[in-house]
Structure 1
């Protein structure tokens, strides 16, 4: 929005407004805007949630240390979404279809998560939004977006699969692109949701992955960098750098209140939306497989649940003391901050490995 204003002022007032046309400047302003908004809205939102008694319900069969979290305000993901959307609308180029698709994905999955949280904490329905309906609406949104992107692709690179560490392996997916995009969006959305079980555990890896995807977006949309790194040049991808910056800024602002011991939880409104937006950005910059690496903590958490359920149904035995796996380590005696920080360290390592694929190919 402000991009158009800056262009007008540059032409009719002063050439100095040209500074706002630079992607790097708008990315910096995007992260700062989202961060400041989060820090400003946060205390007000927490007080409002406390006043409305919108608090977290804690399971009795979980770690005993979590019982003290009961009643902690939840649905704080509204704070993250508002900060990202406002920052993105202000500093990103809204004529860019990649930006529009990304913000729509964020908002749509946020609405699904909001309905789930609303049913749980306000209507006091322990099940929330019934699982089959949650997956149904996630699938509708993901398939609609994937189909749109497939039919509006303007160059072969937009529907090719990039294989990490191999510069000459780039198979065309054809209609399979829709299926891949669907699984990436829905899978990442639910993976972040499963990871969001400890104070700050999900948000910091999200910030790191978003920052790394911002680097991928920048180089993918820059013809010289793309040619040098031998990756496809997709001009529209560059503008996603601003959105990634906004995600990182909003995430850091939320972490201010979500760090141990948490003053607020993000709820499904935050985790489902953040996972989906990471998925759609990875698709747009053609780095789905690298997302699998960088989001390794999300993958491990999801696999732990799948293995636990599968083992119990097939053998009647559990592999872990409790799933997702972060609860397993808690029940082994690890203090919650130790689990969180160690998972953050693992995330950082995996993000660096993902970034290394830009050069090691």
Structure 2
């Protein structure tokens, strides 16, 4: 909103300094700053409100060291993250941008689903929370909205230049170009690094192409959202890892939205995607600000209100920037956590059917609990997973040149 206000002031009154709001870098910095202020300054008030409402975590006895000490810790802290994302984005981003609209809808929708789940757990004292099928339905719905928008909306295009963008004698040469409606995405570590979904899916018929693409979007949103949800098991793990991922995506958003940088690095130029840098900045600021209270020992948990939303946001950001095939690297920690659960459950069922007794690969899943069972301090596990997340982020950024 401030972006539109100052843009109007600059155009109509030519007020000195108002034009600074045109710069993505300035607005991203302000979004990150405001996000930190909101989560840290008002976070304590939100935690006290949650505590007064007796919205505390109910902890199952899993035999983990220090686990029962967490009982009664305020949950639903994801509301802090939602506010830290939504308010700065509304203030500093172009709210008419289709990508910004899509990300705000995703944030509020998945946050609402997580809130319902937490509400049932806390107020109705039902540890199971919202039935899994309803969570899946909610994720499928937002997947359909995102997939349909990316496939059909007229503003979702990629720009193809008739000749490379160049700079000569300090003047940017802008050649002719065309905005193309295309379902192409980026393949990491490949020289000709573009995959055209419309050509791949088109083999099965034009009618099935949008259905298959939307199905792919649903799968990605559901998988990453659940991966983040599973990762949120020890203090600071999900928030810190998500901040690292968000910062990496912000770099890609800046490059993808800039004609010069995208041409130089041979990255797909996506018009209007630069606005996502503001959203990413608010996202990172909210996650870091939340860590102020969520770092070990946690004063608040994000609950499903935060974890489901965080994963879904990361998935949609990757899809809008055509970087979804990078998700195994970007979300490497989430993937490891999710796979540890799948492996544990699959192997247990297989051995129980074959030997009459279920056996385990890990001491406990998700894998962070495995290390807790090995008596590694919780804070050390969290920091080591952050380091692993940084390594994945560096490798993801290295794909810009490693082809």
> TM range, normalised to the smaller chain?
over 0.9
RMSD of aligned residue pairs (Cα, Å): 1.2
**Residue from 338, 351, 361 that aligns with 2:393:** 351
Q: For residues 158 and 29 of structure 1, what CA distance do their matches in structure 2 show?
A: 33
Determine which structure has the larger helix proportion and give its number: 1
Instruction: Report whether the alignment pairs 1:8 with 2:8.
Output: yes
1:331 matched residue in structure 2? 373
Using the TM superposition, give the Cα deviation of residue 16 of structure 1 relative to its aligned residue in structure 2, in angstroms: 1.9
1:130 matched residue in structure 2? 131
Partner SS for 2:80: helix
1:112 matched residue in structure 2? 113
Identify if the C-alpha distance between structure 1 residues 158 and 214 changes in structure 2 by more than 3 Å, giving closer, same or farther. Answer: farther
- 5 Å-filtered alignment, 1:3-82, equals 3-11=3-11, 12-82=13-83
Identify if the C-alpha distance between structure 1 residues 158 and 105 changes in structure 2 by more than 3 Å, giving closer, same or farther. Answer: farther
Q: For residues 154 and 241 of structure 1, what CA distance do their matches in structure 2 show?
A: 18
Quick check: 346-355 or 163-172, which moved more? 163-172
Q: For residues 62 and 214 of structure 1, what CA distance do their matches in structure 2 show?
A: 40
Identify if the C-alpha distance between structure 1 residues 254 and 122 changes in structure 2 by more than 3 Å, giving closer, same or farther. Answer: same
1:154 matched residue in structure 2? 157
Using the TM superposition, give the Cα deviation of residue 10 of structure 1 relative to its aligned residue in structure 2, in angstroms: 1.1
| Cα deviation code 1:124-147 (max 9, x no counterpart) | 111100011111111112122211
Q: For residues 145 and 9 of structure 2, what CA distance do their matches in structure 1 show?
A: 38
Whether the 8 Å contact between 1:158 and 1:284 is mirrored in structure 2 is no
**Residue from 182, 186, 196 that aligns with 2:232:** 196
Using the TM superposition, give the Cα deviation of residue 180 of structure 1 relative to its aligned residue in structure 2, in angstroms: 2.2
Using the TM superposition, give the Cα deviation of residue 111 of structure 1 relative to its aligned residue in structure 2, in angstroms: 0.5
Instruction: Report whether the alignment pairs 1:252 with 2:253.
Output: no
1:211 matched residue in structure 2? 247
Whether the 8 Å contact between 2:157 and 2:270 is mirrored in structure 1 is no
Whether the 8 Å contact between 2:257 and 2:272 is mirrored in structure 1 is yes
**Residue from 277, 280, 301 that aligns with 1:265:** 301
**Residue from 321, 325, 340 that aligns with 1:289:** 325
Instruction: Report whether the alignment pairs 1:170 with 2:197.
Output: no
Quick check: 1-10 or 257-266, which moved more? 1-10
Determine which structure has the larger strand proportion and give its number: 2
Whether the 8 Å contact between 2:182 and 2:196 is mirrored in structure 1 is no
Q: For residues 326 and 104 of structure 1, what CA distance do their matches in structure 2 show?
A: 31
Q: For residues 16 and 216 of structure 2, what CA distance do their matches in structure 1 show?
A: 45
TM-score when normalising by structure 2: 0.88
Instruction: Report whether the alignment pairs 1:321 with 2:363.
Output: yes
Q: For residues 279 and 301 of structure 1, what CA distance do their matches in structure 2 show?
A: 16
Q: For residues 110 and 124 of structure 2, what CA distance do their matches in structure 1 show?
A: 20
Greater Rg by CA: 2
Using the TM superposition, give the Cα deviation of residue 218 of structure 1 relative to its aligned residue in structure 2, in angstroms: 0.6
| Superposition misfits of 4+ residues, deviation over 2 angstroms | 153-158, 174-177
Q: For residues 397 and 184 of structure 2, what CA distance do their matches in structure 1 show?
A: 19
Identify if the C-alpha distance between structure 1 residues 31 and 158 changes in structure 2 by more than 3 Å, giving closer, same or farther. Answer: farther
Partner SS for 1:235: coil
